[in-house]
Each structure stands twice: as structure tokens, then as C-alpha cells.
A and B are shown apart, each in its own frame.
Chain A
């Protein structure tokens, strides 16, 4: 984990309430796809945990949804302004387990961390299929960016306005080697039921205190006992999680 000051170099809305922010600064603590950063916002006590969409040597891209006062204030920030952040947080996706044809499933603001994962898998010569689930057409973001990486992309919308009508589980391919996912808990639960024959890793979301394992604010019960979403996760082997099915 590192603490640093990051400068906003790009900040654009992707939909009505989802924003993409590119920050320049020290990215050396980021080591794997699926990690997150904790951003301090002026006037707010706790930092905001935001998943990392992509990063390189000099910049980090995040995509966040305005859900409360903090993210609302963040959405008003301008290019050139700076943010204090902790980076290199969390245990991300293990790309070694993917097999040749991994399936990546994202729902809503669960989509962003899959971007760097898809990029990493493609660089390793894998052939990922990406399913991106949204409620309706005007909530869709990043489908073209995933296509531009070279991944096979399937979009689902609950209202059927774009792509496959229904949920991500209505669009599962017949064959895949492994499943990676991030999204709302009802989606993860349905996906768990639908992919019980194969291995996979799911990224969880939880309200956090510290984000680095100190406060036990974000614990989840697993088959191996209580685990911290921020430090032991956010990515867990799906078989380790407790599912009420």
C-alpha cells in the first residue's frame, strides 16, 4: 500500500450518473487486476473505495457511479485538481487460473475492474468472452472499449433495449474455462448457481472503514471463517463464499 497525491487529467461522464476519471501519479503499488484505491475527498471523513479499471506506469483510470454525497462531490471535481489516495489495496483476480477461454461477467458498476483483467488475459494469449449486464440502453458503458481490446463482448439489458434481453445469466456461452465476475450480489448469486460446474472468482463490494484490513468493517463469512473484503478480497474464489441457495 502507498499513499500519494494524484492529479485529475481526464474526467468525463459515461452515462447520466457514471463517470470516468483518469488520474496521474504513482501507480507502483498496483500489482494485479481487481484491486481498488481509497480516495480522500475534501470535507469527508472516510475515504471512498473505488475499483481500478485500468492503470499503466503513470496513470490510473477509475469509473465510479454517483451514489451519495461523496461521489456527488467527486463528480464536480475538475481536470487539474488533486486527490489524496491510498493505492495497491486488495487482493485482485488471479489470471493464472483462467484457462484458454475465460468468461468475464460484469453488472453495472461491477464492469470497470474487468477491463484491466480482460486486457491482462488477452496479453497472455487467452480468448476471453465478456458479458456486460445493464438495466437499459442509456446505462451502458465501456462495451466498445472491451471490443477494442479484442475481447468477444455480449451486452445484456433487463428491458431488452440493447443486446440479449434479460440478465447476464441469459447469455452464458455453452463452454468456458473459468468465470470471473463483479457486480451486485443478486447477480453474483444467480451466476454462482448457473456456473456451479466450473471454477471462478468473484469480486465483492462492501462498505469499508479503512480499506486496508485494520477495522473489520467489511467482513464476509466464508467457508474458511470470517474474511476482510478489503484485504483478503475483494476477489474471492467463488467456492469459498457462503451462498444461501
Chain B
């Protein structure tokens, strides 16, 4: 019998599959399609202290084997997430959810996390210091070890929940950034966020995306994500949530061999809304094919 269970800083998951933030809303669009309780957990839409409309459209472009988005962290703000989205989610999701939190200053991250700290439904906080789509925020923290350290310390001071820092791949070397998060007290690392990318429309001869650049995701980025998860696993002794281009059960196994304890699935949800339950259903077969009885046993197995 295949054992899919994994544990993230004390949070036990029935399986390692977690829809990634920004591809799953606050869950209930998907709850109309399938019982989302089959998931390990899910990471809700990146949420900030204040409501945000985000960037002008077009926000989406296609790429070979992937896509670019420049949504710009559209969200209703932390207070409405707590008073409206979480109660609505409670009716269809009975597991702990991952709260994905963004911000524009150290204080803002801390205040937002302090608000969500009281919520029993939240099992873990994923601090997004790596959104490429907002100016003067997020990614500017995530590409600087001092910024990561400051945000991590501030958030840890206001919450007792496990804090995972979500890193940007848009750096020369990911290791010092993961190390900065670890030294500042992070409980785990999430990676990778999207890669900065661009497409140009041949008819208008201008960038497709109104914001010009956006975050590149989808199967095309899987090798970059695997490489970075592998590097961080070697350098930092913290659990890793691995993500980037995962769309099949085989990708999940590969990501766990690289060093991930759990795996987020992002862009695949947008193309096939049933991608996550299909991956979960396929995992036992893929495990049997490669002689794996427990997924816990293969974490970091490629090292």
C-alpha cells in the first residue's frame, strides 16, 4: 500500500500535493468541480494588508510550454479574507490551509501575519517575498538577504504558526537567500516563484503584457525549479515546498527526489482544473513503477 503522507513542520498532510497560490483562488471555484479535501492542503491567493485590484490588463501571455502572468496580487485584503473567504472555505475544505502573504514593507508583512495568526484554519504561513509583478515590493525583499532576514524575523515575532519563506528564482545564486531565511528563523522554504519573462505582440510590436514583464510559469520552468530545490536542500536543513512547472505525478516524484517534502502545483491547474486530483490518483501507480512504498523515504533521494 503506497504511503503518500508527508509532514511539514508538524503539519501532517495526507499527500504532498498543494495547489500553488494564485492558481486556486480561495478554493471554492475548484470545490464546485471536485472534493478539494483530497488535496494535501492548498496555498490561497496571495493576500496583502489592504485590498488590491492589481495591474492593468492584458495580464496574461502564452509561451512555449508555459505562460506569463502579471496579475499584481489582486486580492480583497486580509480582513475580508478572514471575515468572508475563510468562513466560506470552511464549508468545503476541512483541512488546514496555507496562507500566502505578500507585502510592501516589513511592518506590513508583520501586521498581515499577525491578523492571520489567530485563524485556526491556517496551518502554515507562506511569506511571499518574491512576487515579480508589483513595483517597490515583494521581489525587492526577496532578492536581498537582508530584506529576507528582516521580513522573516518580523513575521516570526508575531505568529506561532510555521513560517515558510517563498523565494524568487530571479537571482544569481539562490543559496544565500535560503540561508538568510533559515538564519532569521524560517521554519521552511518555498520555491520557486515565477521567472521574469516577456512576450512581444507582432501585430502591435509591443509587449503583450500591459505591465511589460510578468512571471513565467508552466512545465517549461520545471528544470530550473528542480535545480534550485536541489541546491537549497544541500545548503539548508529546512523542509522545502518545491514548485515550478509540476504537472504530473512523475514531476512530483522528481521534485521530492530533488529535496522537496511537499509539492505545489501551479499553472497546471489553470489548463486542467482537475490536474491535482489526477496527480494524486496517479501517484501510487508511479510509486509502484519505481519501487517506492513511502514518499517520505524519497525526499532528497537524488543527493
Is B69 engaged at the interface, CB distance under 8 Å to the other chain? yes
Is B45's beta carbon under 8 Å from chain A?
yes
The interface residues of chain B lying within 8 Å CB-to-CB of A216 are: 22, 25, 45, 54, 59, 71, 74
Contact partners of B32 in chain A: CB under 8 A? 1
Docked complex Cα distance between A100 and B62 (Å): 43
The reply to whether B57 and A220 form a contact with Cβ atoms under 8 Å apart is yes
Say whether B2 faces chain A, with CB atoms less than 8 Å apart.
no
Expressed in whole angstroms, the minimum distance between the Cβ of B42 and any Cβ of chain A is 11
- B59-85 CB contact bits vs A (8 Å, 1 = yes)? 111111111010100100000000000
Residue-wise, chain B 38-62 has the 8 Å CB interface mask toward A (1 for contact) of: 0000000100000001100111111
Q: Is B273 an interface residue (CB 8 A)?
A: yes
Interface code A204-222, partner B: CB below 8 Å = 1, 0 otherwise?
0011111011111111110
- Are A226 and B270 closer than 8 Å at their CB atoms? no
Q: Indicate if A40 sits at the interface (CB-CB under 8 A).
A: yes
Main secondary structure of the interface of A (DSSP, over half): loop
Contact with B274, one of A3, A221, A231 (Cβ below 8 angstroms) = A3
Consensus secondary structure, chain B interface: loop
Contact (Cβ within 8 A) A219 B67? no
Q: Contact residue range for chain B?
A: 35 or more
Number of A-B contacts (CB under 8 A): 92
Closest-by-CB residue of A relative to B25 is A214
Instruction: For chain A, give the interface size range.
Output: 20 to 34
A58 to B137 Cα, complex, angstroms: 51
B57 touches A215 (CB 8 A): no
Q: Is B65 touching A206 in the complex (CB atoms < 8 A)?
A: no
In the complex with contacts A45-B67, A46-B270, A214-B57 CB distance below 8 A: no
A231 contacts across to B, CB distance below 8 A: 29
Q: Which of A1, A47, A212, A219 contacts B54 (CB 8 A)?
A: A219
Chain B residues within an 8 Å CB radius of A99: none
Tell yes or no: B30 within 8 A of A by CB: yes
* Chain A residues within an 8 Å CB radius of B271: 40, 45-47, 210
CB nearest to A69 among chain B residues = B62
Inter-chain contact A210/B269, CB cutoff 8 Å:
yes
A residues adjacent to B (C-beta < 8 A): 1, 3, 40, 44-47, 67, 70, 86, 206-210, 212-221, 225-226, 231
14 contacts between A and B (CB under 8 A): A40-B271, A45-B66, A45-B271, A47-B271, A86-B273, A206-B57, A207-B60, A208-B60, A214-B273, A215-B60, A217-B60, A217-B69, A219-B54, A226-B53
Smallest CB-CB A-B distances: 8 pairs: A210-B270, A217-B60, A207-B58, A216-B74, A213-B29, A207-B60, A209-B60, A226-B53
